Structures are given as C-alpha cells and as structure tokens.
Amino acid sequence: MTRTAFVYHPIYLEHQTGSGHPERPERLAAILQEMEKAGLREGLINLAPVKCRKEYIAAVHTDELIESIERLSGPYLNHVDADTVVSQKSFEVALYAAGAGIAAADAIMEGKADNAFCAVRPPGHHAESNRAMGFCLFNNVAIAARYLQHAHGIGKVLIVDWDVHHGNGTQEIFYEDSTVLYFSSHQYPHYPGSGSMQEGGSGKGVSFTVNAPLRAGCGDIEYQQVYAKMLLPVAEVFKPDFVLISAGFDAHRDDPLASMRLTEDGFARLTRMAVDIACRFSGGRLISMLEGGYDLRALGASVVAHIEALCGRREASF
C-alpha cells in the first residue's frame, strides 16, 4: 500500500473572506467530514505544515507582493482585486498554506511518505510573481517546485493542473523555464482568460508550457482522452523527477463557478494517470495541493476519491 501523507492545519480556517464568498473555510470542513465518513483518516500519515520561510516564497514572488499581503492583512477585509480578499490572519495562513508543500516535500524526500495531499487554503495557482488574484495570495505549488529544486536537488518538476480555471500564475512564473513543465486543462474561454494552445512558453521554456483549453461541458471521457493524448506523451519525453498536482475540483458537474461535467470517478482516473507518471519516472514522488472546488458536497466526495486513488485504495473500481 502506498504511504500517503495528509497535510492540514486548523489555521487554514482562519483566512476569512467575508460572507457569501465561495472560497470559504467551510470547504475544508466539508473535506474533513467526508474523509471521516469514508474512514480515510486512519490510513494516512498526518503531517502538520511548517510556517514557510519568506526566502522560499521569495523564490517565486517579488518582495513587493509579499510585503503588500503582509501590510493588507489587518482587522478589516481588504480587497487585493475584485474577488481576492485578505483579513487579519491571511498573511500567516498563506505562509502555512505554502508551508504544507514544504512539509510534504521534506517527508517524501526523507522517505517517510510516498506521496501527499495538502488540504490548504488560500489556493495558489492564479498568483503571479508580482500579483495576487483569483482568491490566491501565494502560489503554493510553484513555491513547492522551487523548494524541491533548491533544497532537495530535484531537477525536473512536472506540474499537472486540472482546476477548471487556467493557472495563469504558475504559467507566468515558469514561462521561460525548461526545468518545470506546466500542464493545464481548463474551461476555455473562461476566467482568467489565459491558457490558449498558443501559449507554450518562451525562451528556454518553449514547449515547457502545455495548455489544453476545453470547451464547456466536457466530462470524464473527454478529460481522460485529453490527458492520454496530451499529458502522457509530454511526460514521457520530459521524464519528471517529481510530480506536483494543482488539484482543483471545480470542474465537477455540480460546481457553481464553471460548466464542466467531471464526476468523482473522473477525478480518481486523472489522479491515477498522474500517479502512474510519478511511478514510472519519479519513484512515485508526488504532492497534490488543493486549489478550487466550491460545491461543498462535490468537493468533499471528490477529494475522498482523489486521496483513495493516491493511496491505491480505489484501483479496484477501474
């Protein structure tokens, strides 16, 4: 059985976004509740995140951005953009969200776990080097990628992003980089507007950004076909030393923020594909970090399916 770590901290509930905001603390409560119901907590290695050191965040973000998030985190809700909010504890919570990837990376590289799921908020993949946006403050997955390279000598990192929105931040941070391959499937056209097929990297990074823009209404079968046709061949050539997943669950058919039709089983199948890539090339090393997912029931059930596929418990249903 695969040893899967689960990284979580109650401080993630303290990033307040105001009433009616879809990116709310209840998302994580729903995940924990579904995991409990499924009897999933016992078999996992429970890991606490570390408070991410600023130097690791500064490896992908400018000092101006880091300082502005710290400054804006105060007693009142402050808007970073139209839909991105910071409150009293947001800066500290964001450090712990990034620190989940750090703790998971250390555990895997020290041989204490094979792979990990990080149930974090705020999410990260829209955060660009100098701009927080789209509910995201710091780019958790990008920070984890750079940390793996700098602290653990990992060479090539594959980031698979199946959040229904394009991860413009991750793309921007690694656009000219040939050591981090960014693959994104997303509803298109849709927020944030980027992610066309033509966006494929520049300079040394040409062909190391791979976008799979999908029309609204795609479901399990379409996603599986696209991943088989576009992700697998690219992974085969790239041969990643580590696999990261930007795991958003807002492409679920019940999600209120988009119009895709994935089911829990569809997410499990995508997970198995990523796990297979990690097993073939990366010694199984894989970290998945929560991004979006805004229907509480669908989110909880999808995360359970995702974790079951990460630890090999769901294979029987295929």
Contact residues: Zn ion, CB under 5 A: 163, 165, 248, 250, 292
Q: Parallel, antiparallel, or unpaired for β 84-86 and 78-81?
A: antiparallel
Residue nearest to Zn ion (CB): 292
Nearer to Zn ion, 126 or 314 (CB): 126
Q: Which is nearer to Zn ion, 146 or 165 (CB)?
A: 165
Report in angstroms how near the CB of residue 86 gets to Zn ion at its nearest.
19
CB contact at 8 A, 3 and 104: no
Question: How many Cβ atoms from other residues are within 10 Å of residue 207's Cβ?
Answer: 12
Closest CB 163 distance from Zn ion, rounded Å: 4
Element (H, E) at 6: strand 4-7
Pick the closer one to Zn ion by CB: 126 or 285.
Answer: 126
The smaller minimum CB distance to Zn ion, of residues 140 and 149, is found at: 140
Output the six-digit token pair for 248: 């958003």
Q: Is 126 marked active-site?
A: yes
Nearer to Zn ion, 27 or 165 (CB): 165
Catalytic residue among 9, 61, 125, 126: 126
How far apart are CB 45 and Zn ion at their closest, in Å?
A: 27
Q: Helix, strand, or coil here: 18?
A: coil
**What is the four-CA torsion angle of 39, 289, 283, 308, rounded to 10 degrees?**
20
CB 102 within 8 A of CB 52: yes
Contact 193, 165 (CB under 8 A): no
Residue 186: CB minimum distance to Zn ion, A: 8
DSSP string for residues in 63-102: HHHHHHHHHH-SSS-EEEETTEEE-TTHHHHHHHHHHHHH
The partner residues of 1 in beta bridges, in order of sequence, read: none
Minimum distance of Zn ion from residue 235's CB (angstroms): 23
Helix axes 90-109, 63-72, angle to 10 degrees: 130
First vs last C-alpha separation in the chain: 17
Catalytic residues: 126
